[in-house]
A and B are shown apart, each in its own frame.
Chain A
Amino acid sequence: MNLDLEGHTMRRYDADLTHCHIRVLELGGIVLQQLIEALGALHKWDVPEARAVIERDEGVRQLEKAVDAELVQVIAKRTPVARDLRAVIGMSKMVADLGRVEEKVLRLAEFTASVFDEETSNPPDALLKDITAMGRAALAHLRQSLEIFDRGDAAAAEAGLGAREEFLSWLRSDLRRLTTFMMEDSRLIGQVIGVVLALSALERIAEYTVNLRENVIYQVTGETLRSPPATRNTVAKAS
């Protein structure tokens, strides 16, 4: 990888940084798995699986806290500078972003648990197809971002920065389409709102994975990328 965390005269320092790197990847891997299972539960209308995702959230939170504490320990013990400092700060921000991804995964699982567990009829497939498509894309994006972090590949990270706008415009387009369902059948309004919230969660996940890429660029080059504020009034724009 380009971001070489080893080679310190004090070998224990290598071990500390490498350990943190692995722990962030571990957290990323578990959050990724949570997303896979949350999307799978939605796709298969599998309420128990969605509930299992919700139950595992506490464990993910504990891991997030533990990794955060380990990063603080490295700062306290090693007072890192230059690329080591950037590596630690970057990882710390990634832990926060992965925590936010987990929050949105939870939102998806809760949507699945509520929409398929009620006595009302299940939503039509046409309503859910946007979630499936955007979910697959967000999943691929998160997986790539974690691999890019592992490799410390700033060039690859930069190539995916456009995803923020792509997902946002995708969400707007989906909102326009979903509006037509509500206009045609007002009984679908409740379900459409649920779908909109799930899509919004996926768009947020994509945003956080772009943050991961920005952090990789910061770790490797020292360049801080300040994301352009994406337009948040998506519903207003869609209508």
Chain B
Amino acid sequence: MNAVIEKPEAMQRSGAGLTVAAPVRTRAPIDRKDRATVGEQFVENPRMTCRNVDVYYGDNHAIHDLSIDIGTNEVIAMIGPSGCGKSTFIRCLNRMNDTVECCRVSGEIKLEGVDIYGREMDVVPLRAQVGMVFQKPNPFPKSIHENVAYGVRIHGLANDKTELDEIVRKSFERAGLWDEVKDRLAQPGTSLSGGQQQRLCIARTIAVDPEVILMDEPCSALDPIATAKIEDLIDELRQNFTIAIVTHSMQQAARVSQRTAYFHLGDLIEVGATDQVFTNPRHPLTEDYITGRFG
């Protein structure tokens, strides 16, 4: 920075004789070979383990040899610039990428020790175990009650209507939405505000009692107050669920997560405790991104 620093006028006036430093250096680009993951990829109590995961969209190698654990009852934030592979990665965790025709996933991804890409794995219960909340709230074109009851019913989690209603009520309570919707359960889900719709989607996800909740930029379409409510909710849900969240908001990652993973051009660059990543990142690429020097 001193390339542009003039000796401060006051110091010149003072004649205190401080010397001005040399011009700033610039950092050379970092090759792929220097982009091996740094930090703590693995944890003692993993809920999901990913080893040597590669993802291709046709010829495009979207994720390169990624290995990481997702710990039990932790919130792990995935950050990185657009196109770095973070959303692709979390979509692998409940096989959402199966719906993309040209997508190919290799490597090993296990949930509680079970290979989710194994031949015997049924993706319908898998997606209940590993639920997902998307960027835009996407309530079903049904009533508020039915939005949550639908999944419970098709997964056969309630024996009768009383039990179903109880699960619906508890899900709304856990999503912090019960007081706002209890008198309007028959109204369409789309009649709720954006923030309420997103919490409805979270209630719908937790109603089927998942182990892991994936969130792909869940607050990017919400105002600061709705965002704050979702962030508060994430913190509460952590007691019972494991949460992997993709976010473009660095402050959100810093606020809600215990671990942060930084992706860059399909490589997992750094994983570490959020406190450490945001105060003293180990990799220069991580530092450039989180400080706003990327690009």
Residues of A within 8 A of B (CB): 1-2, 4-10, 13-14, 17-18, 21-23, 25-26, 28-30, 32-33, 36, 79-86, 143, 146-147, 150-152, 222
Contact = CB atoms under 8 A, between A and B. Distances in A.
A148 to B, nearest CB: 9
Nearest to B25: A4
Contacts of A6: 1, 4, 24
Contacts of B287: 82-83
B279 A82 contact: yes
A33 B8 contact: no
Given A1-B1, A26-B10, A143 B280 contact: no
A86 B286 CA distance: 15
Interface string B260-295: 000000000000000000111100001110111111
A8 B16 contact: no
B5 A18 contact: yes
B270 to A, nearest CB: 11
A39 B11 CA distance: 18
Given A21-B1, A25-B11, 6 more contacts: A7-B293, A9-B294, A17-B1, A26-B11, A36-B16, A150-B2
A86 B280 CA distance: 8
Interface in B65-107: none
Interface in B242-267: 250-251, 254
9 contacts: A5-B1, A9-B295, A18-B5, A30-B10, A32-B18, A33-B16, A86-B279, A150-B20, A150-B21
Interface residues of B, number: 35
Contacts of B30: none
Interface in B10-38: 10-11, 14-22, 24-25
A7 B293 CA distance: 5
A22 to B, nearest CB: 5
Contact of B280 (A23, A82, A146): A82
Contacts of B291: 8, 80-84
A30 B17 CA distance: 11
Contacts of B20: 150
A-B pairs with lowest CB-CB distance, top 8: A29-B11, A222-B280, A33-B14, A151-B21, A26-B8, A32-B16, A26-B10, A7-B293
B17 A143 contact: yes
A160 to B, nearest CB: 16
B282 to A, nearest CB: 10
B10 A29 contact: yes
Contact of A32 (B14, B250, B280): B14
A14 B4 CA distance: 11
Interface string B216-259: 00000000000000000000000000000000001100100000
A22 B8 contact: yes
Contacts of A14: 1
A6 B17 CA distance: 25
A190 B25 CA distance: 55
Contacts of B25: 2, 4
Contacts of A152: 21
Contacts of A4: 1, 24-25
A21 B4 CA distance: 12
Contacts of A13: 292
A25 B15 contact: no
Nearest to B254: A81
A62 to B, nearest CB: 13
B24 to A, nearest CB: 5
